[in-house]
């Protein structure tokens, strides 16, 4: 059997300050599916086409598709790049009519019937894709009519109850050999050393932030054991020469003991490794941060989101600005760089409250900030609230192709879209052009590599401005 996995084309808009930052990460979701399939069907021929990572043209994609002639194809469908994925699916059906084509990912889980109606799909996979896709491939190879938990067929639109959540230690390592890892890296200010790559060591989130979608991985937190994570790190260092890891887990430090144990393993092995992660401000403390620093942690991204207690309450974050202030101060004391992620324009906010929030953001004082407008994914409390209150400016069809969150999609009383975008740009300029952040960045330089990274980041910022 020939199996094709496709990450469809999508790109950040010119309004996004990350658009010229060089941000590109390997499609780990597809690479996990490929690795699981290789384990279940060693004889299968698997091809991964990462359209945005390779910067493909439509003509090149069609040529590779014609040459490969897949029997089964899986396409990631993002809310925000919906039309692009539908085009890819129809292209596959045009060139390889007999190919069984499956939609997967967040949008296929949240709106499976829309994928089946609008695209050239035979089925949509709901939830985690590894077992669904492998079982489908095995059934198709045997000539059986597909009947797989979590698979919605175009012929009847009905799904069998999904598989239970996976034990992450049971998964093989992502099949990174199917892509060129040299193509990928975080944004210019998101790493310290090259070569760098990303890992995901946990799934599921037990918190209840109203803007977050949990349709794929659910609310039950699951993580690799420290030994499994160390195995993957060593594999990347030995086989790809990796010197830095960007952990892309939503809440990397949720299991404090796991992280403490992992830090101990990294240190005991004497690994020449630096790493970064993402987490919440209420999931760190001074002792943990010290252990993280000792094992090579150089940067933490905090999902603070609401810069005031009022906004945090609206979003159901479960902590206030004081907690954010304390966590950032503790990370700085440990010698770890900090990044703060914030959301503007949440229902209940006004331009005045956003101005006040910006003052709090400056006071919290992370080394880097990333601002976004509230983005209402379909299966979230934010979407339901904004739609019910008549605050959502975009139709559902428009939401399908709103890829990034640099455009205001929710009405803010007393402010039009142009005024909100001006505020958004002004917020960045006011934050970064203050004396203290400039001084902190200069005094944090430790090497020629640090200087080069700061220069690239500044040049990227100027391009965006």
Residue 325 contacts residue 301 (beta carbons within 8 Å):
no
Residue 141 contacts residue 111 (beta carbons within 8 Å):
no
What is the per-residue pLDDT for 198?
97
CA distances from 345 to 45, 57, 226, 281, 359 (A): 47, 36, 39, 21, 16
Give CB contacts under 8 A, 24+ apart, made by 391-396.
Answer: 391/347, 393/417
Residue 230 contacts residue 269 (beta carbons within 8 Å):
yes
Tokens of 192: 């310290």
CA distances from 262 to 98, 155, 230, 231 (A): 47, 47, 7, 11
Chain mean position to CA 55: 19
Question: 387 by DSSP, 3-state: which?
Answer: helix
By DSSP bridging, strand 45-50 and strand 72-76 are: unpaired
What is the per-residue pLDDT for 161?
79
What is the per-residue pLDDT for 450?
60
Q: How far apart are CA 345 and CA 431, in angstroms?
A: 18
| β partners of residue 73 | 4, 101
Nearest Cα to Cα of residue 457 among 75, 150, 132, 17: 17
What is the per-residue pLDDT for 238?
98
Tokens of 328: 């950032």
What is the per-residue pLDDT for 162?
83
Domains of the chain: 2-153 (3.40.50.2300), 185-464 (3.80.30.20)
Question: 304 by DSSP, 3-state: which?
Answer: strand
Dihedral angle over CA of 199, 200, 201, 202, nearest 10: 170
Q: Tell me the pLDDT of the chain (465 aa) as tens digits.
A: 999 999 999 866 666 666 666 678 999 999 999 999 999 999 999 999 999 999 999 999 999 999 999 999 999 999 888 999 999 999 999 999 999 999 999 999 999 999 999 999 999 999 999 999 999 999 999 999 999 999 999 987 666 678 889 999 999 999 999 999 999 988 877 889 999 999 999 999 999 899 998 888 888 999 999 999 999 999 999 999 999 999 999 999 999 999 999 999 999 999 999 999 999 999 999 999 999 999 999 999 999 998 777 887 889 998 888 999 999 999 999 999 999 999 999 999 999 999 999 999 999 999 999 999 999 989 899 999 999 999 998 888 888 887 678 889 999 988 898 999 999 999 999 998 887 766 666 666 666 666 666 666 666 566 655
Buried/exposed code over 406-421 (b: 16+ C-beta within 10 A; e: otherwise): bbbbbbbeebeeeebb
* Alpha helices per DSSP H over 241-350: 256-268, 286-294, 309-315, 321-334
CA angle 308, 212, 255 (to 5 degrees): 85
Q: How far apart are CA 318 and CA 349, in angstroms?
A: 18
Quickly list DSSP for 208-271. --TT---TTT-SS-EE--HHHHHHHHHHHHHHH---EEEE--TTTTSSHHHHHHHHHHHHHTT-
Nearest Cα to Cα of residue 117 among 397, 380, 376: 397
Query: Phi first, then psi: what are they for 4, rounded to 5°?
Result: -115, 135
Report the side by side order of strands in the sheet with 297-305.
196-199, 244-247, 274-279, 297-305, 337-344, 368-373
């Amino acid at each position: 059997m020939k199996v094709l996995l496709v990450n469809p084309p999508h790109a950040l808009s010119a309004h996004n300050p990350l658009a010229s930052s060089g941000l590109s990460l390997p499609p780990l979701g597809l690479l996990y599916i490929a690795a699981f399939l290789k384990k279940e069907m060693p004889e299968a021929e698997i091809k991964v086409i990462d359209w945005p990572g390779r910067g493909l043209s439509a003509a090149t994609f069609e040529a590779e598709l014609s040459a490969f002639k897949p029997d089964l194809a899986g396409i990631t469908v993002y809310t925000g790049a919906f039309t692009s994925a539908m085009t890819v699916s129809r292209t596959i059906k045009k060139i390889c009519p007999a190919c069984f084509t499956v939609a997967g990912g967040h949008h296929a889980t949240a709106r499976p019937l829309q994928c089946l109606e609008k695209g050239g799909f035979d089925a949509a996979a709901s939830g985690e894709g590894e077992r669904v896709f492998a079982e489908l491939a095995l059934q198709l190879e045997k000539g059986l009519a597909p009947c797989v938990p979590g698979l919605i067929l175009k012929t009847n639109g009905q799904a069998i109850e999904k598989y239970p959540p996976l034990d992450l230690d049971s998964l093989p390592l992502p099949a990174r050999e199917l892509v060129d890892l040299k193509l990928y890296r975080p944004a210019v200010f998101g790493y310290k050393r090259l070569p760098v790559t990303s890992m995901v060591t946990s799934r599921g989130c037990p918190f209840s932030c109203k803007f977050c979608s949990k349709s794929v991985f659910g609310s039950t937190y699951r993580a690799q054991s420290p030994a499994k994570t160390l195995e993957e790190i060593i594999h990347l260092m030995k086989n790809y020469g990796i010197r830095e890891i960007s952990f892309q887990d939503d809440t990397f430090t949720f299991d404090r003991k796991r992280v403490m144990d992992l830090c101990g393993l990294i240190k005991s092995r004497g690994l020449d490794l630096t790493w970064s992660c993402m987490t919440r401000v209420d999931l760190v403390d001074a002792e943990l941060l010290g252990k993280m620093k000792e094992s090579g942690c150089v940067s933490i991204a905090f999902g603070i989101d609401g810069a005031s207690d009022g906004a945090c309450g609206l979003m159901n974050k479960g902590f206030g600005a004081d907690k954010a202030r304390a966590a950032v101060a503790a990370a700085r004391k440990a010698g770890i760089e900090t990044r703060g992620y914030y959301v503007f324009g949440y229902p209940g906010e006004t331009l005045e409250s956003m101005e006040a929030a910006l003052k709090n953001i400056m006071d919290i004082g992370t080394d880097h900030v990333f601002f976004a407008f509230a983005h209402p994914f379909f299966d979230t409390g934010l979407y339901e609230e904004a739609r019910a209150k008549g605050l959502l400016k975009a139709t559902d069809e428009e939401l399908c192709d709103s890829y990034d969150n640099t455009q205001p999609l929710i009405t803010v009383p007393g402010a039009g879209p142009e005024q909100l975008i001006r505020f958004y740009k002004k917020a960045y300029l006011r934050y970064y052009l203050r004396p203290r952040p400039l001084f902190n960045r200069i005094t944090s330089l430790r090497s020629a590599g640090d200087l080069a990274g700061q220069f690239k980041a500044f040049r990227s910022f100027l391009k965006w401005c």
